[in-house]
Structure 1
Amino acid sequence: MTTGQNELRMMWLISLVIVALSAWYLDYEIISYLCGLGFLISVMQYVNAVQQPLEDTAAQHQLSVPSYSKVPLYISSLIAIVGGAIDLKWLMGLGVTAWIFFLLRWLQRIELSMQQLQHRIKFLSSSQPIEFHNTPLPAFQQTPQTEPASSSLIEQIQRWIFQGNPVLKAAIGILVIGIILLLRFATEHWQLSLAMKLGLIALASVAVTGLGYRLIEKNRSFALALEGLGLGALFLTLFFAYYNLVVPSLLLASILFMLVMAVTLYLSFKQNSFELTVMAVLIAYIAPFTLPVRNATAVELIAYYLVINVGVAMLTSLKPWKILNQIAFLVTAIVGGSYALVHGNTSERYSMTSLILAHSSVFIWLGLRFSQLLAKADLSKFQLKPILDIALIFAAPITAYIFLYLIHFDDRSWQAGLSLIYAVVFAGCWFWSRHSHTLNIIANSYLSLMLIFMALIPPILLKGEWSVIGWAIEGVLIYCWALEKNLKVGQYLSMGLMIMAGLSSLYYLVELNPTPRHIFWTLSGCYLAVILVSQLKDKYIQQLDRLSIGFLSLLSFSASLTLFALLEEEFHLPDAHIYSLATVILIYAALNEIILRKNQDWSWLVPKWCGLTPLVFAGVVIAIDHSQNAILVWDSLLARLIFGISTLLLAWQWLRPSVGLQLSKEWVSLGALGSLALASLCLIPSMPYISMVILPLGLCFWSYRQSIDSAWPMLWQSNSTLILMAGWLLCSQLLSQQAFEFYLLPILNPFDLVSIAMLVGFIWMLLQQIRAGRDKGMMAVLMVLSLLWLSSYIVLRALHVYLGTPLNSLEVWNNATVQLSLTILWVLLAFATMWIATLKSLKPMWILGGSILVIVTLKLVLFDLSHIGTLTRVLSFLLAGGVMLLIAYVAPMPEGEKKA
């Protein structure tokens, strides 16, 4: 466990404590309880993280360390939770105290074991010759300090924040905030004229900048911080002056702003200070949002950002500080674009078009200049990173065109004309870069952009909703061509076209009534065609990366939902949704069989699972729609049969091939068992809680008989399977209305038999979890709780049938007969468990029985003691005490486990 993880854990635990204490002080006790529960769970996870390295180290050196049980911790946690739930503060305090005691004792034992293990390792090492190898120094000792231009944007931000003088940087940030507050206060309260106020602040900013310039030789970092602070204050002051009409005209404000920007660029260039530029430019970007008077219009903000970007372009044309380009693009696209979408209006569309084209020109020039610098400079110093550098060449014009497309959404001539302009521009860039000895990757990028914008024109020219069909068909054709030619750019272009088609179809889905169904039929067919084509050849499969798999998964999910909705309207029958579900499942089954002949790895399995997931939810909705009075009512035997067979086929698609369990056992087990439970519901519709588990139990029994080395046990080692089974054990006992159908005797009835089978399966799954390396203590607690829960309900149902005692109501806790019966049951379970453990020398099993005795003791103290005057309560104490004495004599704790 790394230091960073330890720090995060401690921060999380401290936060929980603070929130819990604050909520308790404010009388929000439920929040305090939840924080306390989260604290307990987090500490138990921390305990496991502490113990695991010890066991790994011992296993590496073939040594053994004692295994300390965490069952007392879980029992103490349970006592604290019960005390809080029933509002017994003393019991909750007892549980918390016991929990802290057992935690500290456990940590003390772990520390002792670690010391002993270290001594044994040293002893073994001293008896063997030690070989020393020449290992390289750590990376931070080898790598020389790089220039800011050679680092990525994230690395540069991390270096600026975490390295250097953090106090100085914090002071600068606080001073900038103070200047903003001073400007607001001066604007609203000072009695001097506003021009005088802002003039004094501007003079002070100039003085700070000058002081920093004079100290550059003595203390460079401090001087640059002062310069950045002064220049940033000048930017802010200028903005306050303009928006308060101290500077009356936009022209004069622009000239002054350009003057300040020119000084910034001059100082940055002369002092070779990347940090100064970043500081000043970022303050300039955020300056409009500090104004107290009014918000800038969209045109004003984008025009202002254009001036900043021109200054950045001038600087980066001389200095290869490409990170400035990245900052400029991100701020302009995210901040400026979001602001324009919120505050822009239709009357400004042509002004915004001109500004966006101007921004595009700036970033296209930056791309050209970047390619020139690459051609002239030493590439080893430049450290080209195609994912980040080339992405900027693509992202800037494409993002600009997206905004232009939205601005002129209803004008096809504008959209096609702008696409043609971009295509011509990048054709020129490609022609120039091809003859200027730049990198091939740069020239190919411009060629790709030209092809992208040319490919946009034909679908745009199609009328209305037919443009959606054009996007989709063109996307399929380009995708097939790109896979055949192994062109990543073509694949990305086809992804963009397909996404464009999907988003445009949503617009027509909302705007047109009736919705043109041929759009969605074409879309779903194109989506499935892309998925199928990508898996047909080995060379296609080798080209699929994570981005491609994510895109195929999105297409699969969309195609599944779209086909289900379309087919539901095509079947003019009462059970159209069932026939629709069955048809889509058949389509995916056919695809699965075709593709599995070529591909069985994650590049197909993940898209397949994304397509099957909405079908499982559709099956759940269909089952709920057919439920009446807690039973399933099918309109016809044929519908019931089709639903059962189709969901059974759906479960088979999740499990075929079984190698998928090794990739994601949580996802596969949830989908497979959910589908199997849906199919099982068709067996006995009048008893759904019994019916839904027949096939899952059959699969569990079949998996039990399989080899341990096969993939099938992994199906039952997942958390999702455990949650499904635990949910059934909990809900079935509380909610089932058919628990007394064909009730002959306790256990000898369908519901009790199925419940016991589920309990056996649940315990077997917990053993699978232990085999997979999960916490034994938690699994043991779950075993005890599930056993007590299910056996108690079997007794409660028997008492309800024969004696008329209450069931599933709070009166259960006040009924003496019920409480006596539960006490006898739990004590007998504890006796049987501990007696068998003593005979077999199974210490963990004996501890489980002891845990049941602890629960019995709690029950006697909490419930039976409050009604001490009744005979049954007295009998509860006498019987419990007597059996405990018998246990102490017959089944003492075994000293250790028998060795096989």
Structure 2
Amino acid sequence: MLKGQSEIRIIWLMVLTIVAVSAWFLKIEVLTYVCGLAFVMSVMHYVDALQKPLIDISAQQHLTLQFTSKVPLYISSLLAVVGMSLQWGWLIGLGLTCWIFFFLRWLRRLERSVQQLQEKLHHVQQQPITPENSTAVISNSTQPLSETHPEMSLIQQIKQWIFQGNPVLKAATVVLVIGIILLLRFATEHWQVSLSLKLAIVAILSFVLTRIGVFLQNKNRSFALALEGLGLAGLFLTLFFAYYNHVIPNIYVASICFAVVMALTLTLSLKQQSIELALMAMVIAAVAPFTLPVRAATAVEFVAYYWVINFCVAILTTLRPWKILNQIAFLMTVIVAGSYAFIHGQTQQHDALAFLVLAHTAIFIWLGFRFSQLIAQKDVQQFQLKPALDIALIFGAPLVAYTFLYLIYFEKTVWQASLSLAFAVLFAVLYLLAKRNQTVKIISQSYFSLMLIFITLIPPLLLQDEWSVMGWAVEGVLIFVFALYQKSTVSRYLASALLLVAGLSSLYYLFESAHFPSLMYWVLSISYFAVVLLANAHEKFQQQLTYSSITFLSMLLLSATAMQLFLWVDYLEGSSQYIFTLILMSGLYVILNSVMLWRKASWSWLIPKWIGVIPLYIFALFFVIHRSENGSILWLNTIEQAGIFFSGALLTWLWLRPSVGLKLEKEWVSLGTLLSLSLMSLSILPALPYISVVILPLAFCAWCFSQKENLNWTMFWQTRSSLALILIWIVCSQLFSQQPFQFYLLPVLNPFDLISIAILFGFIWMLSLQLKQGMDRGIVAVLSVLSLLWLSSYVILRALHVYLSTPYNTLEIWQNSTIQLSFTLLWVSLAFITMSYATKKDMRSLWILGGSILMLVTLKLVLLDLSHIGTLTRVISFLGAGFVMLIIAYIAPIPETKALNH
């Protein structure tokens, strides 16, 4: 696993490098910068993943190793990003140079730590391996893969065939097949000899190659099979080129030749017991039509041709239980032939295509029956149906076939119902036949289930227009209830399919109907709600739900909520219809949540509930944006303002109840609760939305801080989602707020500055919690420094704008000497306060934080202020900063390493 992860990392870095270089030559500098930044962060994460095990091992061995902080790397990356955004090439170069230097130093110290650890572990005596253990290891390692894993999936079998044996030989075979295709195309277009002679030469060579492979079968089986497969591929391809270039006069002669080649393939595969040869021939035959240089086949020709391939596969797998041939044939038919027919099919071809679909279905029904019969004959007790591809031939083939027929006769309900009845009768007959043979008891039960499935499809099909959608939905609910009581997995899958068909069909009638089909969507949304609630209504129902079932229920609740929002908006009238809809849906969820908790529903309800409320937040966001004007929220009346507050309160209650949800998935609960509190908070000061939106989250943060002995509430703020939300506010509020000077009295003594400072304290407290959770110290330090400098700088920037009319939130601030002087003095003062306090309290990490601020001040002086050294304010910047640095150097030296644990 570790080796695979390392290979993936190397491939990822190579891809980033290739994309970055290509974008640079294509003059897409932005993409180059993004790839470069991703490369830098990926390399740092990669090396950090190597360093963490060393730290753990050194702690176990009581060995003191010296590791380098990653703070300089983050600062260097930040310099490069700033240079990219400002298009300062010299700053980009400086940032990259510093990053390379600190990264190489990090690697050097990491290498030194590895050497120390090796020397330490060299003296540790290793446990000897006993002969019994070594024998077990050897016996297990030499056991064939087919014996250790007798039931492999399709993907595992393909990996085994590709990567085991002689991969060079297989790669050479693929390359030679491609070469034959190119040779045939070149010969068709350029060679001067007759086309008949060209193709005859290639066909003779292919036959000779096949004969040589048969001759070498007893000497080198794998090499012989490769030659036979290559020769048969050449015969197939030559035949196709000959027919579509009119060298073979008609379809009948071509069909005879194709039958001969196929018969040869079948004979060699069965005689040599070679599934590899059969698989190679089948894939080449399926790919052959796409190699033609002249014309494309019609949909009927293509699907008919694939039927011939499937017929040959049926002959092989009737005699041999080669499951992988059945699986690949089914997938190729559905994906390749189905897609081709969908793209190239025409209306006048529908009847012919429907007949061919039925012909394919007959083959795969037989394959499913025969394969199960062959397996059951070996050991009836051990035989059981496997999920996914194993069961696809029994259930998937007829259901997929009927789906194609349903689409072909989409608007012909009588035809659809008749076909469903025909399938039901067919599987009823097969059930009666299979039931007589006790060796295929399970397959008979499958046929019985399929018969019931097709019978249940008939009633909704006979309904007209939107009523058919309601029929699908109601029948899906009834079958889902039946499945829960009977513990029937097949019935549950059938109900899910009916509900899915109902949802997809509703989209068709939504766009095709002349009026909005409100009744259809009422029934559909209520059905979706009913399924989710019934699935969680009883403990024995909840135990039947798997992860896939929970995902499906979540999508149902998401769709039902979106439909209900539109339906209530359409039903209600007046200017307050949107806010009433939001209140109504929030209250509905609170009621349903209370009922589910009373029924002791757990994670099978919580996850769909969390997914289902997403449309409510999107709806509320669009409503708030619609009511925004010039940076303020203008409610039409007090009902809307109170309604937003009440809706946010309901949603907050929904997220916090039950409290066990916080332990189950704290990221989701934290995100939802903060968004709900923010929605409530928007109703407090609508004229100042950026201040209003964080009032209640800040109050909640203060309350949690006072309850810090309660781990549940502390856990709430240990999430990355809450950290990301606060960080977004820190950046966006300062940049985009249009009322930062409302009620401005003095610096700090104004609403915006007070809220910004409160957010800063909350953010730093959250970072300290993240540090305890194992977040990288370098990231915590960088975020702390940047947030402190960002918010404090904006406090000064607003004060200068009020009193000295300096620029605000424009690029001119970087050219204004007064602003730059103020920034320099502010930053160096913050560094002085931080480092002095750290020295006094022997807090080495806090001192390094202040030192980072001081380093940023130095970089600012050298990179920015030095370019305007002629102005008085720049001179004062250097003198003031230098003077404070002298004081720091005297009274605030770095604490000793022994104080690190403080």
TM over 0.5: yes
- Distance in 1 separating the partners of 2:31 and 2:98: 22
For 1:158-307, what aligned pairs fall within 5 Å after superposition?
158-307=159-308
Local SS of the residue matching 1:823 = helix
For 1:490-501, what aligned pairs fall within 5 Å after superposition?
490-501=491-502
Partner of 1:156: 157
Partner of 1:6: 6
Partner of 1:109: 109
CA shift for structure 1 position 353: 1.0
For 1:307-318, what aligned pairs fall within 5 Å after superposition?
307-318=308-319
Asked if the contact 1:186/1:197 (under 8 Å) is kept, the reply is yes
1:671-695 C-alpha deviation (Å, 9 max, x unpaired): 2222221111011101100000011
Partner of 1:100: 100
- Distance in 1 separating the partners of 2:19 and 2:36: 10
Letter in 2 for 1:355: L
For 1:706-785, what aligned pairs fall within 5 Å after superposition?
706-707=707-708, 710-785=711-786
For 1:461-610, what aligned pairs fall within 5 Å after superposition?
461-610=462-611
For 1:421-440, what aligned pairs fall within 5 Å after superposition?
421-440=422-441
For residues 119 and 707 of structure 1, do their structure 2 counterparts lie closer, same or farther at Cα, with a shift above 3 Å needed?
A: farther
1:414-463 C-alpha deviation (Å, 9 max, x unpaired): 11111111111111222222221235432221111111001001111112
CA shift for structure 1 position 79: 2.6
Confirm or deny that 1:68 pairs with 2:62: no
Confirm or deny that 1:858 pairs with 2:859: yes
For residues 6 and 692 of structure 1, do their structure 2 counterparts lie closer, same or farther at Cα, with a shift above 3 Å needed?
A: same
For residues 138 and 149 of structure 1, do their structure 2 counterparts lie closer, same or farther at Cα, with a shift above 3 Å needed?
A: closer
CA shift for structure 1 position 75: 1.8
CA shift for structure 1 position 59: 5.0
1:215-258 C-alpha deviation (Å, 9 max, x unpaired): 11121111111111111121111112222222232222222212
Asked if the contact 2:298/2:345 (under 8 Å) is kept, the reply is yes
Confirm or deny that 1:451 pairs with 2:426: no
Partner of 2:889: 888
CA shift for structure 1 position 848: 1.1
- Distance in 1 separating the partners of 2:117 and 2:145: 41
Partner of 1:635: 636
For residues 178 and 594 of structure 1, do their structure 2 counterparts lie closer, same or farther at Cα, with a shift above 3 Å needed?
A: same
Asked if the contact 1:149/1:322 (under 8 Å) is kept, the reply is no
CA shift for structure 1 position 114: 3.7
- Distance in 2 separating the partners of 1:531 and 1:755: 43
CA shift for structure 1 position 898: 5.8
Local SS of the residue matching 1:513 = coil
- Distance in 2 separating the partners of 1:380 and 1:254: 44
Confirm or deny that 1:20 pairs with 2:37: no
Larger deviation, residues 808-817 vs 704-713: 704-713
- Distance in 2 separating the partners of 1:469 and 1:34: 49
For residues 175 and 633 of structure 1, do their structure 2 counterparts lie closer, same or farther at Cα, with a shift above 3 Å needed?
A: same
1:287-322 C-alpha deviation (Å, 9 max, x unpaired): 111111111111111100000000000000001101
Question: Structure 2 length normalisation: TM-score?
Answer: 0.96
Larger deviation, residues 722-731 vs 781-790: 722-731
- Distance in 2 separating the partners of 1:67 and 1:193: 75
For residues 643 and 416 of structure 1, do their structure 2 counterparts lie closer, same or farther at Cα, with a shift above 3 Å needed?
A: same
Letter in 2 for 1:256: C
CA shift for structure 1 position 58: 4.2
Structure 2 unaligned blocks of 5 or more: none
Letter in 2 for 1:850: G
Larger deviation, residues 397-406 vs 814-823: 814-823
Larger deviation, residues 312-321 vs 252-261: 252-261
Local SS of the residue matching 1:438 = helix
Asked if the contact 1:374/1:439 (under 8 Å) is kept, the reply is no
- Distance in 2 separating the partners of 1:59 and 1:484: 55
Asked if the contact 1:864/1:873 (under 8 Å) is kept, the reply is yes
Letter in 1 for 2:839: T
For residues 25 and 570 of structure 1, do their structure 2 counterparts lie closer, same or farther at Cα, with a shift above 3 Å needed?
A: closer
- Distance in 1 separating the partners of 2:817 and 2:564: 59
Larger deviation, residues 853-862 vs 53-62: 53-62
Partner of 1:42: 42
Question: Structure 1 length normalisation: TM-score?
Answer: 0.96
- Distance in 1 separating the partners of 2:217 and 2:39: 51
- Distance in 2 separating the partners of 1:224 and 1:133: 40
Local SS of the residue matching 2:438 = coil
Asked if the contact 1:48/1:775 (under 8 Å) is kept, the reply is no
Asked if the contact 1:149/1:320 (under 8 Å) is kept, the reply is no
CA shift for structure 1 position 123: 5.5
Partner of 1:658: 659
Partner of 2:622: 621
- Distance in 1 separating the partners of 2:618 and 2:59: 44
- Distance in 2 separating the partners of 1:139 and 1:545: 37
CA shift for structure 1 position 370: 1.4
1:41-98 C-alpha deviation (Å, 9 max, x unpaired): 1112113211222233345567665553211111222233334444444443333232
Larger deviation, residues 279-288 vs 420-429: 420-429
- Distance in 1 separating the partners of 2:437 and 2:668: 52
- Distance in 2 separating the partners of 1:133 and 1:626: 77
Aligned-residue CA RMSD (Å): 2.3
- Distance in 2 separating the partners of 1:882 and 1:740: 34
Larger deviation, residues 671-680 vs 304-313: 671-680
- Distance in 2 separating the partners of 1:535 and 1:247: 66
CA shift for structure 1 position 99: 1.6
- Distance in 2 separating the partners of 1:312 and 1:274: 11
CA shift for structure 1 position 198: 1.6
- Distance in 1 separating the partners of 2:213 and 2:199: 21
Letter in 2 for 1:172: T
- Distance in 1 separating the partners of 2:140 and 2:635: 69
- Distance in 1 separating the partners of 2:324 and 2:707: 58
CA shift for structure 1 position 623: 0.6
For residues 700 and 440 of structure 1, do their structure 2 counterparts lie closer, same or farther at Cα, with a shift above 3 Å needed?
A: farther
Local SS of the residue matching 2:439 = coil
1:164-219 C-alpha deviation (Å, 9 max, x unpaired): 22221121111111111112122222222222222221111111111111111121
Larger deviation, residues 451-460 vs 64-73: 64-73
Letter in 2 for 1:245: H
CA shift for structure 1 position 401: 0.2
CA shift for structure 1 position 152: 2.1
Asked if the contact 1:619/1:647 (under 8 Å) is kept, the reply is no
Asked if the contact 2:67/2:109 (under 8 Å) is kept, the reply is no
For 1:835-846, what aligned pairs fall within 5 Å after superposition?
835-846=836-847
For residues 458 and 383 of structure 1, do their structure 2 counterparts lie closer, same or farther at Cα, with a shift above 3 Å needed?
A: closer
Percent identity between matched residues is 57
CA shift for structure 1 position 31: 2.6
For residues 104 and 733 of structure 1, do their structure 2 counterparts lie closer, same or farther at Cα, with a shift above 3 Å needed?
A: same
CA shift for structure 1 position 269: 0.5
1:301-345 C-alpha deviation (Å, 9 max, x unpaired): 110000000000000000110110000000000111111111111
For 1:672-683, what aligned pairs fall within 5 Å after superposition?
672-683=673-684
1:11-55 C-alpha deviation (Å, 9 max, x unpaired): 222332333334334443333222221111111211321122223
Structure 1 unaligned blocks of 5 or more: none
Letter in 2 for 1:75: I
Letter in 2 for 1:790: L
Aligned residues: 899
Asked if the contact 1:353/1:404 (under 8 Å) is kept, the reply is yes
Asked if the contact 2:484/2:544 (under 8 Å) is kept, the reply is yes
For 1:85-96, what aligned pairs fall within 5 Å after superposition?
85-96=85-96
